[in-house]
Amino acid sequence: MKSNVKPKIVIIGCGNLAWHLVKHLFSLKTFDLFVYNHQPNALLNKFKMKLNCFTGDSLSKIVSDADYYFVCVADKFVSSVSRHLKNISSSSVVVLTSGSVSLDDLHKNSINKGVFYPVQTFSVADDINWAEVPVIIEGNNVYSVKKVKEMGKLFSKKILQLKSAERLKLHLSAVLVNNFTNSLYVAADNFISNEIKNKEVNFKLLLPLIQQTTLKINKMSPVKAQTGPAKRKDGKVIKKHLRIIKNKDLKKTYRRLTELILAQQNISSSGSKQKK
Amino acid sequence: MKSNVKPKIVIIGCGNLAWHLVKHLFSLKTFDLFVYNHQPNALLNKFKMKLNCFTGDSLSKIVSDADYYFVCVADKFVSSVSRHLKNISSSSVVVLTSGSVSLDDLHKNSINKGVFYPVQTFSVADDINWAEVPVIIEGNNVYSVKKVKEMGKLFSKKILQLKSAERLKLHLSAVLVNNFTNSLYVAADNFISNEIKNKEVNFKLLLPLIQQTTLKINKMSPVKAQTGPAKRKDGKVIKKHLRIIKNKDLKKTYRRLTELILAQQNISSSGSKQKK
């Protein structure tokens, strides 16, 4: 037996998640790492040079004897990419990493199919504290579950096994607090740039407030942390705000979220749907 | 002259902002502090015991020789509260602390009127890093501006003088990134509680993601930090999400913010309105 050959991990895709998975796996020093893209991509070179990966610019060249095949491509390509993995070892697990793709969307060619969905946002420049990132796992059989769980534990203290339908719900929640929240930051940034003439006033002024908003919900439930004119039902301030918003999209968004807060606070005070 | 009498500061109101203003002023040890409420309130005792304040449970008892009168009451009461301050010294400054109340709303009885609006959210339990909190100031005359600026510098490194109309715009921006963002946290919390049966899945799972969302905009502009199905124009995922949302308010909110992101990203890619 080849005793000093390390187990192999294949990553398909070379985006932000691929980068952070490989970066962490590289730090463990226990795997040989392979990164493939469906076509040449300048990013592959970074994986080779910085994280000591074998790289390939075509899916037809993928090695067949890896322990794990992580599919790190856009949701709509997961299915077609997994179809390429038809000649892999029967002990390999093909793993999807998305919040919204069903386990069944992995091609039926694969004997062992799994999910490894980290509930986190990834940009190349980020520092990721993997130990605290919840990793949602799933598998199509006992062996697959065991394998993705083992892999999950190399990353995080928080491994949770969920069915695809439940994972989709968690992914939706992540969209609310991450993508939608960020869109409000964009809205504020645009509003300040377009409407406030004083050059010293810019989006950065809001950073301490944004930071505190986040810290607060570490200590109390979000419904208790709610403040502001909508929470106080202060129609006068709401009208003042609506009067100074020119952008139609922002006006609609202001109205919608004001309505949302009013509904949330009513539910909360009646206690009829709030579980806490 | 009474050489060891300290200058006096009066705070009207005993809520969260009052608490943090007084707490900071107390730490400076250079003022005698007075806190008044329009009626008896158990919180007054905390100001007396913990922050060594003189307290009063009626606005008719307010001392007349303080340097500053901070009005820390709900927006709709600012005007009527300031009307009580008719016999104060001609060198006193009456200061409002709200983002959305105009300087002119302070009663004309006051000779010197000012604004001290900290762009921050305050709960009693919070630690406030005052040095980093932007403080927006304004005054009705040169003396008032000088006085609120002096006061601002005792709190923060970031003092900005803005007219009431510009302050209102900044306040609106703060509502977007603080109150509206928090309402999305509430929505996610409710959705998880109502829709995900697995008891290990709760809102706390999202905290590392929320934290990272915030850290990201310290390093890049929010429009660049945007990710998610709406950004990718991934209609399939958006439909999957809409299908699993039962709550009408949440469904409308999901649609609205998806539209907002589409509009923001179009503007950004066409470059027509984006200033950066």
Strand order in the sheet with B93-96: B54-56, B32-36, B8-12, B68-71, B93-96, B113-118, B135-139, B159-161
Question: How many Å apart are CA B84 and CA B77, to the nearest integer?
Answer: 11
| A263: chain B residues, CB-CB within 8 Å | 249
Q: A59 in contact with B at a CB cutoff of 8 Å?
A: no
**Res. B126: pLDDT tops 90:** no
Instruction: For residue A70, give the 3-state DSSP assignment.
Output: strand
Residue B209 and residue A249: Cβ atoms within 8 Å? no
Decide the pairing of beta strands B93-96 and B113-118.
parallel
Specify the residue for token string 């301030």: A237
| A186: chain B residues, CB-CB within 8 Å | 222-223, 226, 261, 264
- Nearest Cα neighbor of B164 from B140, B134, B132 is B140
A126 closest CB neighbour out of B158, B216, B260? B216
Q: How many CB atoms lie within 10 A of CB A37?
A: 22
Residue B240 and residue A180: Cβ atoms within 8 Å? no
**Res. A199: pLDDT tops 50:** yes
A189 closest CB neighbour out of B191, B210, B221? B221
B226 closest CB neighbour out of A186, A244, A274? A186
Q: What is the mean pLDDT of residues B93-111?
A: 95
* Complex ipTM more than 0.95, yes or no: no
B181 closest CB neighbour out of A205, A213, A274? A213
Residue B190 and residue A274: Cβ atoms within 8 Å? yes
Q: A178 in contact with B at a CB cutoff of 8 Å?
A: yes
Q: A77 in contact with B at a CB cutoff of 8 Å?
A: no
Residue B183 and residue A260: Cβ atoms within 8 Å? yes
**pLDDT tens digits for range A79-113:** 999 999 988 999 999 999 999 999 999 998 889 99
Question: How many Å apart are CA A251 and CA A248, to the nearest integer?
Answer: 5
**Res. A275: pLDDT tops 80:** no
Q: List Cα–Cα distances, B159 to A200, B7, B107, in angstroms.
A: 10, 22, 25
Whether this prediction's pTM lies above 0.95 is answered by: no
**pLDDT tens digits for range A26-78:** 999 999 999 999 999 999 999 999 999 999 999 998 999 999 999 999 999 99
- Nearest Cα neighbor of B59 from B75, B45, B48, B44 is B44
Nearest-CA distance from B199 to chain A in Å? 11
